[in-house]
Chain A
């Protein structure tokens, strides 16, 4: 691994730890807490709305300062998505994601955070998540092995 890759990896590790801590403090890692937020017609717990609002505010305020720089600290350029379109993939994909999230009360970050406890269902969820994503990648390649990399649906990431 090059020095540049090692620095980026260490930086990413620190960010992941802070992110994981945030998920834990906010209880996004607790399916019951998530379901209680999504259960708008039941005993509604709006906590997660506050989590999103807080995260948005901090990210929104600081990202302006960050992107004023010409480049990030450990890389040569910012990789921000340039996509602005709203197509049926966005709509269908988001709907399917929402269905999965509502079913189990877990989205990608919390599911990965829970892996630390080696819970069987968390492992199964993450494995299924990877399988689902891999299947979509496979579809992008036209359903067969390709020699070129397909364009990432998370363009820029």
Chain B
């Protein structure tokens, strides 16, 4: 095992889980990022403001935390621009087709004991692991 960071993993995960439950409590919505983004494509009346606000919160949360910790190093994306774009297309298309991503299926779906989400998670985990094995 290299660079295992259990404490930040537990804390970070707890924050993610808390955010998901908070969104459910306050707005009654699933905190599935691909779903929240997808609901803006195309935008619908009454459904745009909260989605934009949530998605805006993501970089704000990152910036706030990094500022607070004095972190200035931005995580690097070390793939080529072409590979990055292909990856983005696959993620965008795949999450729309599959109805969810790591937060939607992985956190919210599994928290609700959804078999559909379990199958989704196992599938995308396997696909991702195979891709890393083959590609890197």
Q: Which residues of A contact B (CB under 8 A)?
A: 1, 5-6, 8-33, 35-36, 38-48, 50-60, 62-63, 66-67, 69, 71-75, 77-81, 83-86, 89-109, 111-117, 119-122, 124-137, 149, 152-157
Contact = CB atoms under 8 A, between A and B. Distances in A.
A19 B60 contact: no
A107 to B, nearest CB: 5
A98 B61 contact: no
Interface string B1-45: 111111011111111111111111111111111111111011010
B128 A102 contact: yes
B97 A96 contact: yes
Contacts of A42: 136
Given A103-B83, A130-B37, 20 more contacts: A15-B27, A16-B61, A22-B13, A22-B17, A28-B12, A38-B128, A42-B136, A53-B13, A59-B107, A63-B20, A66-B24, A94-B105, A95-B124, A97-B91, A100-B87, A103-B90, A117-B63, A153-B97, A154-B96, A154-B100
A41 B20 CA distance: 32
Contact of B91 (A10, A72, A116, A129): A129
Interface centre among B13, B108, B124 (most CB of A within 10 A): B13
A86 to B, nearest CB: 5
A104 to B, nearest CB: 4
Contacts, number: 528
Contacts of A96: 90, 93-94, 97-98, 127
A47 B4 contact: yes
Contacts of A59: 16-18, 20-21, 107-108, 111
Contacts of B14: 22, 54-55, 57-58
A63 B116 CA distance: 18
Name the residue among A100, A121, A125 with the largest chain B CB count within 10 angstroms: A100
A52 B105 CA distance: 11
A63 B24 contact: yes
Contacts of A1: 49
A54 B16 CA distance: 9
Contacts of B25: 62, 66, 69, 72-73
A38 B132 contact: yes
B118 to A, nearest CB: 9
Contacts of A100: 86-92, 94
Nearest to A1: B49
Interface string B75-115: 11111010111111111111111111111111110111011
Contacts of B75: 27, 29-33, 114
